Structure 1
Amino acid sequence: MFGCNPLDYDLKVELSRCFTGIGTVYLAQYIPNGQHIAVKKYRMDKASKEESILARDELLIMRQFSHPNIHTFHTSFVYGNELFQIAPLMCFGSCKDTIANCFRAGFPEIFVALIMRDVLSGLEYLHRRGYVHRSIRASHILLNQTKAVLAGFRECTSIVGHGERIASLHHLAPCSARSLNWLAPEVLEQNIIGYTEKSDIYSIGITCCELANGVEPFADAQPTFMFTEKVRGNVPTLLDRSTCPANEEMIEIVTSTDSDSIRQAQQIYSQRVFSDEFHQFTEICMEKKTVQSLVGITAPESFLFQAMSAHKHSRSIATLRFRDEGLFTDKR
């Protein structure tokens, strides 16, 4: 349906930069049929050998997936020194872009619920196929009028080797420095125990806080401090009436010393109320220790956790189920 001639693609507007600046995403129109699509163009002459391998591997991994909540692409080709990736247009861009442009204090709870329903559906598909994403964050969740899709597969890796499931992983992705704030403590610890696909669920909890609060987790923290806090079990929290901090802490959260910005943010956070189920969900996702039972963490009219008492670990897709009619209760 889409050809490999770059002259057939009319690049309209630059949407964003990606991949340390060597990639650019454009809103484009495919001239033969008039369809609007997204074109991601990499300047391979500016890429290192490692970056070239990562770009290649991302395309190879994405070709293996077929799910409505996993970002895909129509075709890819090389022309001169440039690598073109032709993908469906996600008209609202990433969640990070949408927050920056429209929701400075974060999404309403119902928005987060609907986004997470789609993201968890896509993530469950990845895990069942034996992959760990390792880079779940707001900038890797794309939105259009009907759904959210999970993107950003440069750090994705398989937990299947030589036809058998690998008990645990021990290595960090080559470009993991950009995702450190979202990674689970067991990934950062780099110990003999290693980590599994459950580390993605921790990133889900962190991302929920990012979507709801409108700020990146540990945005201004030094890596050593961030690592220490995670290992100790200290994690971000949803900011609402029950958790809104004092002025001194708000300076760190909104990453601004402007008194008006701090006052405005504190006013928004102190007036809204997130449901208990939403708070419980993020706490379960970021729980460092295993639990024997999830009985009692259910919400029949809102965001439903299927309590699976036989399951040893809280961090599992199987414990994070949504009911179609419910999700979170928006109390704003």
Structure 2
Amino acid sequence: MSTLTEQTASNLRQRYDELLAEQPKLRIRDAALALQVSEAELVALDCGDSVTRLSVDNWSEFVKELKPLGRVMVLTRNEHCVHEKTGEYENIAAHGGKIGLVTGKVIDLRLFYDEWDLAFAVESKGRDGASLRSFQVFDAAGQAIHKVYLKNETGLDAYQAIVEKYRSIDQSTEQIVGSAPALEEDQPVSEATAKSFLDGWSQLKDTHDFYPLLGKHKVSRLQSMVLAEGRFTQKVSNDTAKRVLELASERGISIMVFVGNEGAIQIHTGPVNKIVGYGEWINVIDPDFNLHLKEPGIVSSWIVEKPTVDGVVHSLEIYDNQGRIIAQFFGARKPGIEERQDWRDLVAELKA
């Protein structure tokens, strides 16, 4: 990944414009990949015009400012999956300033502020020509973490107030970014560690206890799938995510869909209705929920069982070629309630 210490913003502007002239429908993330720069560097090219660089010292407080925006579309993605929800920021909480929690009737987020580094207010045109106003957050390498799009005119005053409050003195078109951190290689797991880990898995009381269990034994998520195969996990074909969406749609099953990156996890809870395939992508196109899953990015898929005080909870987890989780699918449920029978029936079919 290059930075603007090596090339001027004006040179990048020219290259970007030439690329868009050749491919006018190219999305900014794909343009960044083609130009071998970060998305944040391309966004910053319009600072002082349609983009305002923001200066944020306290991300937890910044997120609280989003509540008065009213109806918004929030977007969180990784390389292979895009998750979009339209609703309102309702209940906003912070844990030690490093973790944020947003819960409500529609928008459900887990935010990891240590990864948040850059923010911009962006005004652009949608494909239908309508004005789009958004806040866009990036990590130190210029990779997108979370975006918030205004979906109503009544929130415009609140949007402008946030822009003015956090406007940076620096509105240059150059954006310096660092390199994306290298992925940590999985370390071999001894028999003793594997046994201890699986014993801990068998004693889980809540699905939220799984992540600390991984950390305690220094086991990666994908390693855990392999270690538990035949006991708590079962490898399934890589079209299983598509089948989950299609079957949930056909049968009216409410599900949970988790998609995230290092800085944010976004959750949909409810039905999925309109499932559409387009090229490499399987898509959910519903009024308040859109999902875009790039099927060739899925390298392994696993049915997972976790014991809890409410009974066994089943999920589908899908991974990419670097061992990173792309998405998770559960039956819709809340703590204290047993897993849905229609979801269990669906999982049983997938396992068979």
Indicate the TM-score class for this superposition, using the shorter chain for normalisation: under 0.3
Higher helix share: 1
Question: Bigger relative contact order, structure 1 or 2, given CA contacts below 8 A and separation 6+?
Answer: 2
- Give TM-score, length-normalised by structure 1: 0.26
Calculate the TM-score normalised by the size of structure 2.
Answer: 0.24
